[in-house]
Amino acid sequence: MKVSNRYLHVISRISLAAIAAASGLAHAERIHRYAVSVNPELTRLAVTACFDGQVPDRLVAESLDASVALIGVWNDKTGKEIQPSGSIPLKTLAADGCVRYAVDVSRPIKRHDRTGGKVRRVGSDVAVSVGLWLWRPERLDQDEDVELVFELPESIGMSVPWSPVDGTDQPTYRLGRTPSDWPAWSAFGHFTERTAEVAGSQLRIALLDGSPAVDRDEIGGWVIDAAVMVGGLYGRFPYPNAQVLVVPNARVREPTPWAFVTRGGGPAVHFVINQRRPINEFYEDWTAAHEFSHLLLPFVRSREAWVSEGLATYYQNVLRARAGRLSEQTVWQNLHAGFGRGRREAQDLTLSEATRRMYHSRLFMKVYWSGTAIMLLADVRLRQYSDGAQSLDTALAALNSCCFEPQREWRARELFAKLDELTGTDVFTQLLNEYEDSEQFPDLSTAYRELGLEPYGRRSVRLASDAPYADLRRAIMSGNGAGAGTIQAPSATLDR
Ligand SMILES: [Zn+2]
C-alpha cells in the first residue's frame, strides 16, 4: 500500500530531523519567506521574497498576464532592477538572497491569458487570481516550502487557499506542493474570513462585498450545510481545510449561476451568487452539493472530466436524498431525466471524444450524465458483489484514507485501478473499458430492472417495491447498509 504525500512528508521530516540530530546539523527543512503587503486602496501588492540557501534559477507565475501586471522586480540587496522575460531570472542572486517586486491589481488584464479576468472588483473588495501576482519557484523539493506572511491595512481581511500556520501575529500560510500551474484565487477587502468546523475540517469562508448586502449568516449557513452533506459521506470531510470564496452581485434569476473548484495551493470552492434570491432557492439548488462533492476525488485531468463531473452529479443527488432534502422518488426521477438528456446528446461521439470537446462544443449533458451513469453502475455492482458491505462511499473513504495524493493530477485509468485494488474488484476498470471509447450511453437496463426503476415518459419513474434489489436502491438514497456510507450528522460550528 502506498502512503499519501502528506504522510511521506511527515516521514521525511522525521528522518531528516533524525539525520540532522545525528550529524549535529540544525534545520534540515528549507523555508523561503515571502512578505506580502497590500495597499489600502487594494490596487497594488508588494512582495519581498527571501530564499533559504540556494536561490532557484527563476520564478514563475501561473497566468501569462502576470508579466503584464508586474510593475517591477529588484534585487533587494543591490537595488538593481531585474528584467523579467516570461519568468523572473534569479541567476544573479547570491545564496540566501531576496527579491522585491510589485504587482498592479487595479484593473483586469486580459492580454495573453484567455482564461478570463484575473482581477475582479466586487464592491469595495477585490478578488485576484494568485497566478497574476505570485512569482514562485517552479518546483519545491520535499524538504522545501514557501511561507507567506501578509501585512494588511487596518480592517482589511483576506482569503487564500493555502494551509494556515497557527499561532502567528500576522496571517501566515504554507504554499505546499501542488503544481505551480494549478489555478488559485485570493481576495482582499473589508470582510472577515469566518472559520467553520465541519466534520473534522476547517472551512475558511469569505463573502465579498454585495449590494444589496449579503446576509452573512444565511449564506454562511447554506455553504456549511452542503459541506456537512459531503462530510457525512464517510464521517469526515475529505481535506483538513478548504477555502470557500463567495462572490455576490450576479445579475441573473438563479441563486448560484456560476461555481467551480480550484486546487492550486489547496482545495477551494468558489460561488458566484445572486444574493437577491430568497435563501430557500439556495437550498433547493444543486450547485453547492455538486461543488463540494468534487472534493471527494483528487484532481483528475481535465480531458477525462467525465469522471469528476459524473461523481459530483451523482452525489449532488444522492447526498440531498440522504439529507432528507429530496425524496427517493424525486432523486431517481432527476437521475432518470438526466440519463435521457445525456443519451440524446452527441450520439456519434465516444465519451472520451465528447469530454475533450466538452467546453468547445458544449457537450455537458453527454459528459456529465454518462459519468453519472458509470458511477451509479459502480455503486450498484460494488453493493451487489459485497452483499452491501461495500459501495462507492466505502471505496472513496478507502481512497481518502490511504492514497488521496491531492497534490498531483490523476488519470482516470490509474484512479479506477486504485479503486479496484482498494475494493478487491474489477468494477471500475471494467466500466472504463466498456464505455470510455464507446459511442453508446452506459447500459442501465439491467440496473433499472434489478433496482425496480420503471420509467414512464422522459422524466418519470415508478419505484417497484418487489424488485430483486429494491433494498439496495433504498440503501443508496438512505445511506444505510454500506458501512461508512451512513450519515453521521457531523457537527458544524461557525466562528463569529
Ligand atoms: Zn462540476
Using the mean position of ligand 1's atoms as its centre, give its distance from the Cα of residue 289 in Å.
Answer: 10
Using the mean position of ligand 1's atoms as its centre, give its distance from the Cα of residue 313 in Å.
Answer: 7
Listed residue (129, 104, 125) closest to 116, CA to CA: 129
Using the mean position of ligand 1's atoms as its centre, give its distance from the Cα of residue 28 in Å.
Answer: 41
- 408 — phi, psi (to 5°)? -145, 165
Q: Which residues contact 79 (CB under 8 A, 6 or more apart)?
A: none
Domain ranges of the chain: 31-184, 191-295, 302-494
Using the mean position of ligand 1's atoms as its centre, give its distance from the Cα of residue 453 in Å.
Answer: 26
Listed residue (57, 204, 212) closest to 139, CA to CA: 57
Q: Which residues contact 487 (CB under 8 A, 6 or more apart)?
A: 232, 322, 323, 479
pLDDT 10s digits, 79-107: 999 999 999 999 999 999 999 999 999 99
pLDDT 10s digits, 204-257: 999 999 999 999 999 999 999 999 999 999 999 999 999 999 999 999 999 999
Reported confidence tier of residue 484, pLDDT bands at 50, 70, 90: very low
pLDDT 10s digits, 24-34: 344 449 999 99
Local structure of 485: helix, strand or coil? helix
Q: CA 446, CA 455: separation in Å to the nearest integer?
A: 13
Asked if 223 contacts 281 with a C-beta cutoff of 8 angstroms, the reply is: no
Using the mean position of ligand 1's atoms as its centre, give its distance from the Cα of residue 319 in Å.
Answer: 15
Say how many residues make up the chain: 496
Listed residue (366, 244, 252) closest to 295, CA to CA: 244
Q: Give the mean pLDDT of the chain.
A: 91
DSSP state at residue 143: T
Using the mean position of ligand 1's atoms as its centre, give its distance from the Cα of residue 64 in Å.
Answer: 25
Using the mean position of ligand 1's atoms as its centre, give its distance from the Cα of residue 290 in Å.
Answer: 6
Using the mean position of ligand 1's atoms as its centre, give its distance from the Cα of residue 46 in Å.
Answer: 35
Please give the average per-residue pLDDT across 444-469, as a whole number. Answer: 95
Using the mean position of ligand 1's atoms as its centre, give its distance from the Cα of residue 260 in Å.
Answer: 7
Using the mean position of ligand 1's atoms as its centre, give its distance from the Cα of residue 288 in Å.
Answer: 10
Grid coordinates of 100: 522585491
Using the mean position of ligand 1's atoms as its centre, give its distance from the Cα of residue 42 in Å.
Answer: 31
Grid coordinates of 352: 472520451
Using the mean position of ligand 1's atoms as its centre, give its distance from the Cα of residue 38 in Å.
Answer: 33
pLDDT at 277 over 60: yes
Using the mean position of ligand 1's atoms as its centre, give its distance from the Cα of residue 314 in Å.
Answer: 11
Grid coordinates of 239: 481535506
Using the mean position of ligand 1's atoms as its centre, give its distance from the Cα of residue 316 in Å.
Answer: 10
Residue in the block written with cell 487594494: 42
pLDDT 10s digits, 60-86: 999 999 999 999 999 999 999 999 999
**31-184 matches 191-295 in fold:** no
DSSP state at residue 465: T
Using the mean position of ligand 1's atoms as its centre, give its distance from the Cα of residue 368 in Å.
Answer: 8
pLDDT 10s digits, 329-370: 999 999 999 999 999 999 999 999 999 999 999 999 999 999
Using the mean position of ligand 1's atoms as its centre, give its distance from the Cα of residue 238 in Å.
Answer: 17
Reported confidence tier of residue 491, pLDDT bands at 50, 70, 90: low
For domain 191-295, the question of CATH label 1.10.390.10 is answered with: yes
Asked if 131 contacts 61 with a C-beta cutoff of 8 angstroms, the reply is: yes
Using the mean position of ligand 1's atoms as its centre, give its distance from the Cα of residue 292 in Å.
Answer: 9
Using the mean position of ligand 1's atoms as its centre, give its distance from the Cα of residue 100 in Å.
Answer: 38
pLDDT 10s digits, 400-437: 999 999 999 999 999 999 999 999 999 999 999 999 99
Using the mean position of ligand 1's atoms as its centre, give its distance from the Cα of residue 305 in Å.
Answer: 9
Using the mean position of ligand 1's atoms as its centre, give its distance from the Cα of residue 102 in Å.
Answer: 35
31-184: CATH number: 2.60.40
Listed residues: CB within 5 A of ion ligand 1: 309, 312
Listed residue (29, 84, 93) closest to 56, CA to CA: 93
Using the mean position of ligand 1's atoms as its centre, give its distance from the Cα of residue 220 in Å.
Answer: 21
